[in-house]
Amino acid sequence: MNLKSLKFLNNLRKENRQFAVIGLGRFGRAVCSSLHRMGYEVLGTDIDEKLVTQALTQKIASHAIQLDSTEPESLKEAGIFEMDTVIVAIGNYLQESIITTLNVKEAGVNYVVAKASSEIHGKLLQRVGADHVVFPEYEAGCALAQTLTKPAILERFELDPENSIVEILIPEEFHGKTLAQLELRGRYGVIALAVSNGDKFVINPDPQQKLTQGLIMVIIGSNKNIQRLPI
């Protein structure tokens, strides 16, 4: 069985979305190439011509354009304002990052994700309208700690800083038991949203369904309670 093809959260994504990534540093390039590999239309841009050419030769984006994102006219001409989602991947240039985020939000882009390199940078990005602010270095550090301590968590979707939806591998301790027997709610304070039967997910699973070690289940709960699961 291919676990990746069974990923529940991946399957929830909306198709035909168009993305633009502004800033092709390490972070921006990683976002670009991942989206491109997943089959999405993605436009990469940078002020540095060399990075734009590199993005095209390495085929990490569907299109790549050299522009200065602090200039609204250039963004407009490149079609950035028509994108569903724009990722502002400029971490080290505070002024450029803030102006760019302001430009795309003022032009009406629906969803803008911006990379922050410090807490104050994050606050400023929120003030100018960023819909989602990411702190990649901080988040990667936290995720690494989680993975090291809980390797059975395959995927995590953070609802807020305290609560998540996670995909976990069903542990040995749950094997052959029903959800009713396990009393996940009472014992761990988490709720099972879906259980895979090997081919697809059964949403809102029957309490009498027996679990099989190694298959996937989707759980919602506080990070503290998820941490208590025997996985």
Residues that bind ligand ATP (CB under 6 A): 22-28, 46-48, 51, 68-70, 89-93, 96, 115, 117
Beta carbon nearer to ligand ATP, 25 or 189? 25
Closest residue to ligand ATP using C-beta atoms: 91
Which one-letter amino acid corresponds to residue 116? A
* Nearest Cα to Cα of residue 117 among 141, 99, 93, 101: 93
Beta carbon nearer to ligand ATP, 136 or 214? 136
Shortest distance, position 66 Cβ to ligand ATP, whole Å: 8
In the numeric block, which tokens belong to residue 135?
A: 């702190």
37: phi then psi, degrees, rounded to nearest 5: -60, -35
- For residues 66 and 52, what is the distance between their CA atoms, to the nearest angstrom? 6
Shortest distance, position 211 Cβ to ligand ATP, whole Å: 41
Beta carbon nearer to ligand ATP, 89 or 216? 89
Shortest distance, position 115 Cβ to ligand ATP, whole Å: 6
In the numeric block, which tokens belong to residue 171?
A: 């542990």
> Are the CB atoms for 44 and 31 separated by under 8 Å?
no
Shortest distance, position 52 Cβ to ligand ATP, whole Å: 9
